[in-house]
Amino acid sequence: MLSVEDLRKGFGSGRRRLEVLKGINLKVEQGELVSMMGPSGCGKSTLLNIIGGLLEADSGKITLQSFNYGTKSPNRVVDVRRNGVGWIFQDFHLVDRLTALDNVAFSLELSGMSSSEAEERAKAALERVGLGDRMDFIPDQLSGGQQQRVAVARAISGSRPLILADEPTGNLDVKSGQEIIHLFQDLCKNDGISVLMVTHDPILASMADRMLLLKDGVTAASDIRSAWGIEEVQP
Ligand SMILES: Nc1ncnc2c1ncn2[C@@H]1O[C@H](COP(=O)(O)OP(=O)(O)OP(=O)(O)O)[C@@H](O)[C@H]1O
Ligand SMILES: [Mg+2]
């Protein structure tokens, strides 16, 4: 579904050059929930931005279904952003003055859908995330967990195969955070959506099908011990 091969990215030039991603290899299967952890500043958001078509890598290759990119500049991967990936951010990124329904419908209309079809799809997506009775509420009238579920509805409403979530539970209490992960599990299992999620919380990370650790510019499979930062004890 998603395949990232030998992806490299640095910033700046000369002595101030900073190599951030030094050959990332990873795969996400259809219907898989994959969590990614790693120290602050190690390049997690940079990697998601490249996979999401918002930033180009220096070298390497990304295949997402039929999309091939990685080093293409963002203006050449409009179709990835439109049809390939949905985003979920820590701070929800909802429009304050719009109802839940309009927040979801608005983004569909931006991608060129007629307003009547956008509204139908938005309703279905909000039902799917359990907000059928909150469609006419504006963000201020919703809890943090509910606002994040509106963002999830927005991300899945365009039938995109991959959701990129950058610390989706960072602004939520423990219970709401877990509910969001349960929703991801449900979407992966029952709707065949794939989710790549960055989190700093080892408990939430361990709820994924698979955990990755991004460290020193490369990714490695991780387990709960390394996620907690517990060093291997040599026998
Ligand atoms: N546009 C940019 N120009 C220069 N340096 C950048 C740019 N974007 C990111 N960086 C640097 O790249 C490194 C990785 O940043 P990134 O935001 O990907 O880290 P992160 O793993 O998401 O961290 P956090 O866990 O704190 O969110 C950092 O050292 C950052 O300063
Ligand atoms: Mg980040």
120 CA from centroid of ligand 2 (Å): 34
Interatomic CA distance for residues 104 and 107, integer angstroms: 6
Mean pLDDT of successive 10-residue stretches along the chain, which has 235 residues: 97 94 96 96 97 97 97 95 93 96 94 93 96 97 96 93 96 94 96 96 94 93 77 59
Phi, psi dihedral angles at 113 (to 5 degrees): -85, 150
Which atom of ligand 1 is nearest to 46's Cα? 18
Residue whose CA is closest, atom 16 of ligand 1? 43
Residue reference for tokens 């701070």? 91
Please report the pLDDT score of residue 54 as a whole number: 95
Tell whether ligand 1 has an atom less than 6 A from the beta carbon of residue 85: no
Closest CA to 63 of 124, 127, 5, 106: 5
- Of the bound ligands, which one is closest to the alpha carbon of residue 56? 1
CA distance 50 to 21: 11
- Ligand 2 (ion): residues with CB under 5 Å are 45
The per-residue pLDDT for 231 is 62
Residue 70 backbone phi and psi in degrees, to 5: 130, -60
C-beta 46 within 6 A of ligand 1: yes
Burial label, 45 (beta-carbon count in 10 A; 0-12, 13-18, 19+):
middle
Quote the pLDDT of residue 234. Answer: 57
Whole-number pLDDT of residue 235: 60
pLDDT at 225: 76
Distance CA 126, CA 102 (A): 11
123 pocket-lining for ligand 1 (C-beta < 6 Å): no
The 3-class SS string of the chain reads: CEEEEEEEEEECCHHHCEEEEEEEEEEECCCCEEEEECCCCCCHHHHHHHHCCCCCCCEEEEEECCEEECCCCHHHCHHHHHHHEEEEECCCCCCCCCCHHHHHHHHHHHCCCCHHHHHHHHHHHHHHCCCCCCCCCCHHHCCHHHHHHHHHHHHHHCCCCEEEEECCCCCCCHHHHHHHHHHHHHHHHHHCCEEEEECCCHHHHCCCCEEEEEECCEEEECCHHHHCCCCCCCC
Q: Which of 20, 40, 169 gets mutated to test ligand 1 (max ligand atoms within 8 A of its CB)?
A: 20
What domains appear along the chain, each with residue ranges and CATH number?
Answer: 2-92+160-227 (3.40.50.300)
